[in-house]
Chains A and B, each alone.
Chain A
Amino acid sequence: MSYGLVKRLSLYLCTALVVASCAKQNKQAFYNTGIIYCSESNPVTFNPQLDTSSTTSDASSHQLYDRLLDFDPETGRIVPSLASSWLVTNDGLTYAFQLRKDVWFHSTDYFTPTRNFNADDVLFSIDRWRLTSHPYHYISGGRYPYFESIGLAQNIESVERVNGYRVEITLKRRDSSFLANLATDFAVILSEEYASQLSQAGSPSKIDELPVGTGPFKFESYRKDHFIKYRRHEDYWRLSLSSEDSENASEQTNSEISKEPEIASPPASSSFQSNGGEYSAVEQLIFDITPRSSLRLAKLMTGECDATAFPAQTELEVIRAKEDLILAEKPGLNIGFWAFNTQRPPFNNPDVRRALAAAIDKNTLLEAVYFDSAIRAKTLLPAASWAFQNDADDTAYNPVLARKLLADAGIEPGFSMTIWAMPVERAYNPNATKMAELIQRYLRDVGVEATIVSYDWATFRRHLREGLHDSVLIGWSADNGDPDNFYRPLLSCGAIPSGTNRAMWCNPDYDKLINDALKTDDIEARKAIYRQVNRLLYERLPLVPIAHAYRYQAYRSELEGLTINPFGGVRFGGVEKTL
């Protein structure tokens, strides 16, 4: 008699299955029109000038905008983008950029461009973060953390319009990393026309909420914690750009550019696009916001996502084992570290910092947190950087020394401190809470009681900027290949207010050294200076470098043309999907 029940149950199950499997069939054509990317968090804004978090630049920088210059994802060299060519004077102070013609901004339901991209847009975009007197400077908070942290605004003498398609930038001092900085995710070009329309309408802050750019995708809608939707930008300039043009452009660059250091040298490859001459983009791009990495992988496996951000280190083997998934990896330009708040006693005492550094075993952290997909960090710079110093000093695990140093510094056993663990996964630290728990245990061995503190990401960073922490587990991903991009934002005095100097450490000797390093183009001379810097950092130890992690990107084999961008955000322009 129970078979009646069984029959009913199985009937229900069958219908559910049939419904489900029907949905699987004959949907390919439609599902090929869009790419879904599982991102890890909400962007803070849609203007990457305003935020250094990679979530923000992933969601905006390469999707919505273009920069004057770009990095070639393969070689790391600087290649033309909106500026088709550039010229540097021999004193290295004046840069002239020739702009591309026939570049159109997005036309959306909130803005229709009447003119194409020209020098006014470049002036607007740079002056916005450069000049405090600019009408848009204080819109959306008035903080431009990346540019503040490298002090670029102070170094620019003027930005001038020569004619509609030519811009000249004059620096006060030589800066060998200047071009690289213009190619970072943060140096995007906004629309001046949109801005003036908005200020007439009296709602200037919309410029960062409803973005308009020249990028391959235009903004459609955003629902916090759920999704961001983009549509193809039909008039995107790379779509109409034949491969010939780009070759010409590069050649032009070749001839015009003069003595530039290796990292900023012109492209050797003829075409910018790694997938050949034809440039194409899918109709829809969607960011599916999924904070849990296990869920992101699950969605990747079921095909609900085509690509995912930050696969967890524990999941790499699973991805490698799946035939229809691809795991791309590259040594990353990043550093995960443990920074002490050097403005708070007793962490203002270098001996205390050294003691705490000696109390932890970095190799264990590498094993347990990164599952060996990272390299032990001795200095701030990873091996991928040209200024990497192989024989730099490193702290060693020595609890006896740690106890002694603590006792000498007058720290009683039972001293309590906080370890702030960032709540999001990053390549440089895939699980800060777990690392904090491990460190907590090591510290207990030397008589220090640590409590772990965590907030949601936005609050966390706000409190960090206010300096409420004793120590924090966080890190940095480079935005360009120049070593200055590590040293300056992370530890210079100027980076304290912008909130990238998590150690709140200010040392005049250090600032002088890293400034000196920028005054020369001679690689060997710069390397020598950075050696001194490393030595200084080892002695003062404002932060303990922990690891340089590999960067991973997981995607389904249907996607073509997706590459890891070693300098910052993911880019979907030019990516195709074929089932």
Chain B
Amino acid sequence: MPQFSLYDEEFHPSPWQRTWASFRASHISMLGLIMLALFVVFALFAPVITPYDALEQNIDGLLIPPSWMANGSISYLFGTDALGRDLFTRIIYGCRVTLGSAFITVVLAMLMGVSLGAFAGMLRGVRSSVANHLLDALMAIPTLLIAIIIVAILGTGLVNSMWAITLALIPQFVHHTRSFVRAEMKKEYIIASKLDGASKWQLFVHSILPNMTEMLVVQGTLALSIAVIDISALGFLNLGAQSPLPELGVILADGLDVTYLAPWNVAVPGMAIFFMVLSINIVGDGLRSALRKRVSH
């Protein structure tokens, strides 16, 4: 017997629930989310999933083709590389390294960017104008350039390339936070809080920050896809992570040496980066249109 609720129309889904509902309505977005979740699972549980060690060389099994090819072996799903390392294992670990470092990079950039942006947003006068303009100009410097400079000063390495990308990502968070804070500061609820005697710190933490999370999530997914591409690009160019560390870009660059003999060594890591970025972009896109729908309704 269907249950009849008199108060049904009283139920108001929270903003997040409404966003989720409209996100879920899009099949493509859900597909992207599942893909992304898969990558996250890979990253978190890499040691459990993988059959071998990422650095373990098997001299008797150099360049074994992937399992779907005629002389492939099921014990090496994606085949092996020029040093006999299991490619599947390296890709899974690669997801961990690439996605993990990209995530850390974005979180770092977000923390710094939001604090700087909030500070800049609350500043007034010439100081703020100068700071803002400079920031805008410096924002235009390409990541690759920053990375090259950092490599020149500190040397190559995954951590150094992460610093470079963090530096390159900070300005956009600063920018968005600043515009957001400026816009909010003019709104009435802020003025009301001000009249209540809230300090600037209280204003920011209690009134502005909660309203900013959605913007930050959207910006975060955007930054994440950029960070993944940049980290793997730097690895590929031999300016970031160094072989034998299983980073997707590095694996791809290593594979280039044996392209003709073992094309899967280039194809598989490339696909992995591509699908990782694609899933992040689809989720980000879905999230944005879901938010937009909620706001416009």
**A–B touching in complex (CB under 8 Å):** yes
Contact residues in B for A294 (Cβ distance below 8 Å): 256-260
**A367 adjacent to B62 (CB under 8 Å):** yes
Q: Is B261 within 8 A of A317, CB to CB?
A: yes
**Known contacts A433-B243, A438-B83: does B59 contact A367 (CB below 8 Å)?**
yes
Given contacts A294-B256, A368-B62, A368-B83, contact A441 B261 (CB under 8 A): no
A314 is an interface residue with CB less than 8 A from chain B:
yes
Please tell me if the beta carbons of A318 and B59 are within 8 angstroms of each other in the complex: no
Chain A residues within an 8 Å CB radius of B256 = 292, 294
With A364-B59, A367-B59, A367-B62 as known contacts, state yes or no: A437 contacts B257, CB within 8 Å. Answer: no
The main secondary structure of chain B at its interface with chain A is loop
Q: Are B257 and A438 in contact (CB under 8 A)?
A: no
Among B57, B260, B261, the one with the most A-chain Cβ atoms within 10 Å of its Cβ is B260
How would residues 300 to 324 of chain A score, 1 for a CB under 8 Å from any chain B CB and 0 otherwise? Answer: 0000000000001011011000000
User: A434 to chain B: which residues have CB within 8 Å?
Assistant: 82-83
Report Cα–Cα, A293/B258, bound state, in Å. Answer: 10
Q: Is the pair A297, B260 in contact by a Cβ cutoff of 8 Å?
A: yes
CB-CB nearest in chain B for A312? B257
Instruction: Give the chain A neighbours of B63 by CB distance below 8 A.
Output: 314
Q: Are B260 and A441 in contact (CB under 8 A)?
A: no
User: Does B72 interact with chain A (Cβ within 8 Å)?
Assistant: no
Docked-complex contact B260 and A318, CB < 8 angstroms: yes
B-side contacts of A364, CB under 8 Å: 59
- Asked if B244 is an interface residue, CB under 8 A from chain A, the answer is yes
Chain A residues with CB below 8 A from B257, complex form: 293-294, 312, 314, 431
The reply on B157 being an interface residue by CB < 8 A is: no
The smallest C-beta distance from A424 to any residue of chain B, in angstroms, reads 13
Q: Does B84 contact A (CB under 8 A)?
A: yes
- A314 close to B59 (CB less than 8 A): no
User: In the bound complex, what is the Cα–Cα distance between A317 and B259 (angstroms)?
Assistant: 12
**Interchain CA distance A368-B80 in the complex, whole Å:** 13
Residues of B near A438 (CB, < 8 A) are: 57, 59, 83
Determine how close the nearest CB of chain A comes to the CB of B81; give it in whole angstroms.
Answer: 10
Q: Is the CB of A368 within 8 A of B59?
A: yes
Interface size class of B (residues with CB under 8 A): 10 to 19
Q: How far is the CA of A293 from the CA of B259 in the complex (A)?
A: 10
- Rounded to whole angstroms, the CA-CA distance of A438 and B83 in the bound complex is 8
Most buried by A among B84, B244, B257, B258: B257
> Do the beta carbons of B84 and A314 come within 8 Å of each other?
no
Q: Chain A contact residues (Cβ within 8 angstroms of B): what range?
A: 10 to 19
CB A454 to nearest CB in B, in angstroms, measures 10
Q: Which residue of A lies closest to B254 (CB)?
A: A434
Tell me the nearest residue of chain B to A319, going by C-beta. Answer: B260
Chain A residue contacts of B62, Cβ below 8 A: 367-368
In the complex, what distance in Å separates the CA atom of A314 from the CA atom of B243?
19
| Closest residue on chain A to residue B242 by CB atoms | A452
A292–B63 Cα distance when bound, in Å, is 20
Interface bits A400-437 vs B (CB < 8 Å: 1, else 0): 00000000000000000000000000000001011001
| Contact partner, B244, options A297, A367, A368, A437, Cβ 8 Å | A437
Taking a contact as CB atoms under 8 Å apart, the answer to whether B82 and A314 are in contact is: yes
Q: Which residues of A contact B84 (CB under 8 A)?
A: 368
Residues of A within 8 A of B83 (CB): 368, 434, 437-438
Cα distance A315–B258 in the bound complex, in angstroms: 7
User: Could you tell me the distance between the alpha carbons of A364 and B83 in the complex, rounded to whole angstroms?
Assistant: 11
A315 to B57, CA, bound (A): 21
Give the distance in Å from the alpha carbon of A431 to the alpha carbon of B261 in the complex. 16
- Encode contact with B along A429-467: 1 for CB under 8 Å, 0 otherwise: 001011001100100000000000000000000000000
B131-154 interface with A by 8 A CB criterion: none
Alpha-carbon separation in the docked complex, A292 to B236 (Å): 13
User: Which of B62, B82, B261 lies at the interface centre, i.e. has the most chain A CB atoms within 10 A of its CB?
Assistant: B261
Shortest CB-to-CB span from A389 to chain B, Å, is 29
A438→B257 CA distance, assembly (Å): 17
Chain B residue at minimum C-beta to C-beta distance from A361: B59
- Bitwise, B79-111 to A at CB < 8 A (1) or not (0) is 000111000000000000000000000000000
In the bound complex, CA of A428 to CA of B36 (Å): 46
Q: Could you tell me the distance in whole angstroms from the C-beta of A455 to the nearest C-beta in chain B? A: 12
Chain A, residues 77-105, CB within 8 Å of chain B (1/0): the string is 00000000000000000000000000000
A294–B254 Cα gap in the complex (Å)?
A: 11
A149 to B84, CA, bound (A): 40
Interface membership of chain B positions 50-68, coded 1 if the CB is closer than 8 angstroms to chain A and 0 otherwise: 0000000101001100000
**Which residue of chain A has its CB nearest to the CB of B244?**
A437
Which residues of chain A have C-beta atoms less than 8 A from B82's C-beta? 314, 368, 434
Residues of B within 8 Å of A312, CB to CB, are: 257
B272 to chain A, nearest CB (A): 20
Q: Using Cβ atoms and an 8 Å threshold, which residues of chain B touch A314?
A: 63, 82, 257-258, 260-262
Instruction: Please provide the chain B residues from 202 to 240 with a CB less than 8 Å away from any CB of chain A in the complex.
Output: none
Chain B residues with CB below 8 A from A292, complex form: 256
Distance in Å: Cβ of A180 to nearest Cβ of chain B: 36
Q: How far is the CA of A441 from the CA of B84 in the complex (A)?
A: 13
CB distance from B292 to the nearest CB of A (A): 24
Taking the closest CB of chain B, its distance from the CB of A291, in whole angstroms, is: 11
Within the complex, the shortest CB–CB distance from A280 to chain B, in Å, comes to 34
**Least Cβ distance of A254 to chain B in Å?**
48
Minimum CB–CB distance for B153 against chain A, Å? 17
Please give the distance in Å from A294's CB to the nearest CB on chain B.
Answer: 5
B270 to chain A, nearest CB (A): 15
Question: Considering only CB atoms, which chain A residue lies closest to B262 in the complex?
Answer: A314
C-alpha spacing A464/B156, complex, angstroms:
21
Chain A nearest CB, measured from B256 CB (Å): 5
**What's the nearest-Cβ distance from chain B to residue A362, in Å?**
12
* Contacting residues, chain B, for A317 (C-beta < 8 A): 261
Interface residues of A in 265-319 (CB under 8 A from B): 292-294, 297, 312, 314-315, 317-318
CA–CA, A59 and B214, complex, Å: 61
Give the shortest distance, in Å, between B254 (CB) and chain A (any CB).
9
In the bound assembly, the distance between CA atoms of A292 and B261 in angstroms comes to 15
Complex Cα spacing A297 to B256, Å: 12
Task: Report yes or no: A315 in contact with B59, Cβ–Cβ below 8 A.
Answer: no
Q: How many angstroms from the CA of A364 to the CA of B59 in the assembled complex? A: 7
Q: Which residues of B contact A437 (CB under 8 A)?
A: 57, 83, 243-244
Distance in Å: Cβ of A319 to nearest Cβ of chain B: 9
The CA of A15 and the CA of B137, in the complex, are separated in Å by 38
Nearest CB of chain A from residue B243's CB, rounded to whole Å: 7
CB distance from A235 to the nearest CB of B (A): 43
Asked whether A318 lies within 8 Å of B261 as measured between CB atoms, the reply is: yes
CB of B241, distance to nearest CB on chain A (Å): 15
The 7 A-B residue pairs with the shortest CB-CB distance, nearest first, are: A318-B260, A314-B261, A314-B258, A364-B59, A294-B259, A315-B260, A294-B256
24 CB-based A-B contacts, threshold 8 Å: A294-B259, A297-B260, A312-B257, A314-B63, A314-B257, A314-B260, A314-B261, A314-B262, A315-B260, A318-B261, A364-B59, A367-B59, A367-B62, A368-B62, A368-B82, A368-B83, A368-B84, A433-B243, A437-B83, A437-B243, A437-B244, A438-B57, A438-B83, A441-B57
Query: Given A314-B257, A314-B261, A437-B83, list of 14 further CB < 8 A pairs?
Result: A294-B256, A294-B258, A294-B259, A297-B260, A312-B257, A314-B258, A315-B261, A318-B261, A367-B59, A368-B62, A368-B83, A368-B84, A431-B257, A434-B83
Q: Which B residues form the contact surface with A (CB < 8 A)?
A: 57, 59, 62-63, 82-84, 243-244, 256-262
